Amino acid sequence: MSAHTKNLFDITNKRIAITGGAGVLCGQMSAELARQGAKVAVIDFNIQAAQALAGQIKKDGGTAVAVHANVLEKEAVEKSLAATLDAFGGVDVLINGAGGNRKEATCSAPATFFDLPADAIRWVFDLNCLGTILPSQVFGKHLAQQDAGSIINISSMNAFRPLTNIAAYSAAKAAVSNFTQWLAVYMAQRHSKNVRVNAIAPGFFLTEQNRFLLTDEKTGQPTPRGRTIIEHTPMGRYGQPEELVGTIQWLISDAARFVTGVVVPVDGGFSAFSGV
């Protein structure tokens, strides 16, 4: 790789705010991006987890700050922006990593779709969709004013191919993908052609949220659902959290400076495989 090509991917001193930054996947992003020289604001509702991760990043020689925020409260998000600006003097990148599902919003037997409670569905939509929109409003306004920056949303394979049982989560992540495209066009046409908006759509990664849906808690062997996923992933395995970082780094670097409004699958081929 030439020095010029290496420089295209360089993110040294990029100031990156990551919501849900202490979670399994985004925690790995926080740590890996810091290793690449970025300054990372680990924004999380669980401030203890954020502090622990930021402390480890600093111990490893990186730059990080822990910031508390509830992404469903705009005032709290505004305070997280202020804290990031205070720590780093600016923000170059927002990664909207906060999200998740709720057992009560799934229709695994014996529950059916017809019985899903509205408050559980609303919780999933709020966390994934509103929890992406509100930080994008707050941090996006700052990026537009400085006429530079990047927003990365976290969609899901569910937005490409809805999975059984998780109706609310699939629909909410589809909304995130749609919003990503909408915001990319809006920012470029109305505010700044130098603020790009993209998303990644992770395939299947083992997290604390899904571990015992995909593996048997007692034996560690794949559950029937886990076996189906592996069988439909051409690469034949789950992804490793650090395998998301290369795509993230590309999207926020100058190597992707003409890329906006895309949702990139990182899925081991799952979305490309028809099953036969």
DSSP output for 175-218: HHHHHHHHHHHHIIIII-TTEEEEEEEE--B--TTTHHHHB-TT
In a domain, 58, yes or no: yes
**pLDDT at position 4:** 58
In a domain, 26, yes or no: yes
Assess whether 186 carries a catalytic annotation.
no
Whether the full predicted model's pTM is greater than 0.75, yes or no, is: yes
99-143 tens-digit pLDDT = 999 989 999 889 999 999 999 999 999 999 999 999 999 999 999
In a domain, 81, yes or no: yes
| Domain ranges, residue 157 | 3-204+242-265
Q: Are 240 and 267 in contact, with CB atoms under 8 Å apart?
A: no
In a domain, 223, yes or no: no
- Annotated catalytic residue, options 45, 160, 169, 179: 169
In a domain, 215, yes or no: no
In a domain, 33, yes or no: yes
| CATH number reported for the structural domain that contains residue 96 in this entry | 3.40.50.720
Residue 55 confidence (pLDDT) above 60 = yes
What is the average pLDDT value for the chain, to the nearest integer? Answer: 93
Range in 30-34, 48-52, 215-219 the model is least confident about:
215-219
Q: Which tokens sit at 27? A: 């925690």
- The band of 206, judged by pLDDT with boundaries at 50, 70 and 90, is confident
Number of domains in the chain: 1
Distance CA(188)–CA(246), nearest Å, equals 25
192 sits in the region (left: phi over 0; alpha: psi -120 to 50; else beta) called beta
Residue 62 confidence (pLDDT) above 90 = yes
Can the peptide bond before residue 110 be classed as cis, meaning omega within 30 degrees of 0?
A: yes
Q: Are 55 and 115 in contact, with CB atoms under 8 Å apart?
A: no
In a domain, 235, yes or no: no
